[in-house]
Structure 1
Amino acid sequence: MSTYADSSKARVWEDGDAFRAPAGTTLPTDIFAPSLPGWDAFGGIRAGFTVTKDQTITPLDIWNNKSGAAYKNKKEPVKPTIALEPVDYSKATILTLLRGGSIVAGAGGFEHIDGDDEEFALIVRVYDGTEQKAYYIERGELGAIPEEKMDGTDIEGFPLSVTPLAPASGGDAVRKFTKTNPLA
């Protein structure tokens, strides 16, 4: 049995929040603050969120390489995506679904008019006791329009896939933060 295991460093992310703001909104001074002025909160989110990173790697070889291994690898840029599923009609959820559109009164109700596309900033964060982790996207857009399902068997949710775009200031499209330094 290993003597290096440390259960205090294991995490079960049990709670979290997500926020959106206009594209280019700067990173808050404290990304873990209880309130983020200028950011609209998503309400309930089903089962947290998922961060995926995709990268195409092409092995390159030369004619006299007899080792069986690639001589060099060509790596495309990493393409991250963040998926989350809000289950409410918060301002953040509706603004994301409208993609830059609007809501107008008419026909005895309110019509949701989709836009062409819209860029926005996103913060998602999770908690496990005092440990916290957060991701920040300065510029992103809705990757695909989610389907709507209303069948009486589940809470209505909106599976959102957010595709980060290169930030205007340069740097990483998705920035990751933790409350403590795991290398300390």
Structure 2
Amino acid sequence: MSTYADSSKARVWEDGDAFRAPAGTAIPANIFAASLSGWDAYGGIRAGFKVTQDRQVDPLDIWNNKSGAAYKTKKQPPVGTIALEPVDNSKATILTLLRGGSVSAAAGGYEHIAGDDEEFALIIRVYDGTEQKAYYIEKGELASIPEETMDGEDIEGWPLEISPLAPDSGGKAIRKFTTSNPLA
């Protein structure tokens, strides 16, 4: 066992929230506030969130390099995604699934009319006691249309994968925040 292990710095994220707003909505003054004005909350979310960053790296070599390693590498910009699975019919969930569409009264009920890849802002947060972590996307879109399963075996939900887009402000596509400074 390492003599440098510090269990107080390990996290088991026990709870979380997600919110959406129109693309370009500014980050709140306090991303960890109990309520976020102008943001619609997703309701129940199954098993948290998944944030991935992928980057294509191409090894470059020269003809007389005999080291067994690349001479240099060419790195593409990182491409991130955030995956979550809302399990409710909250306004945020339905707006995301509609992709800029609408809901209209029709045929004795309400018809869900899909739109064309609407862009939106996203905040996701997770909690472990007093420690919190949040991610902010100023502009993103639904990466693919999720399948919908209604089988009597599980709660209905929609596996959403959100693709961040380059923000109009010129900042980072995915911004990460914590309530403590791990480098202090």
Give me the TM-score of the superposition, normalised by structure 2. Answer: 0.99
- Corresponding residue of 1:8: 8
Shift of 1:89: 0.1
**Residue of structure 1 in register with 2:143 after alignment:** 143
The whole-number CA distance in structure 1 between the counterparts of 2:177 and 2:124 is 10
Give 1:1-184 correspondences, 5 Å limit: 1-184=1-184
Which stretches in structure 1 are left out of the alignment for 5+ residues?
A: none
Structure 1 CA distance, aligned partners of 2:2 and 2:86? 40
Q: How big is each residue's C-alpha offset from its partner over 1:55-96, in whole Å with a ceiling of 9 and x where there is no partner? A: 111000000111111000011110000000000000000000
Q: RMSD between aligned alpha carbons?
A: 0.5
Q: What do residues 133-159 of structure 1 show as CA deviations (whole Å, max 9, x unaligned)? A: 000000000000000100000000000
Task: Give the number of equivalent residue pairs.
Answer: 184
Q: CA deviation at 1:2?
A: 2.1
Q: Where does structure 2 lack aligned partners over 5 or more consecutive residues? A: none
Give the Cα–Cα distance (whole angstroms) in 2 for the partners of residues 3 and 53 of structure 1: 31
Please state whether the residue corresponding to 1:103 is helix, strand or coil. Answer: strand
Report runs of 4+ in structure 1 exceeding 4 Å deviation.
none
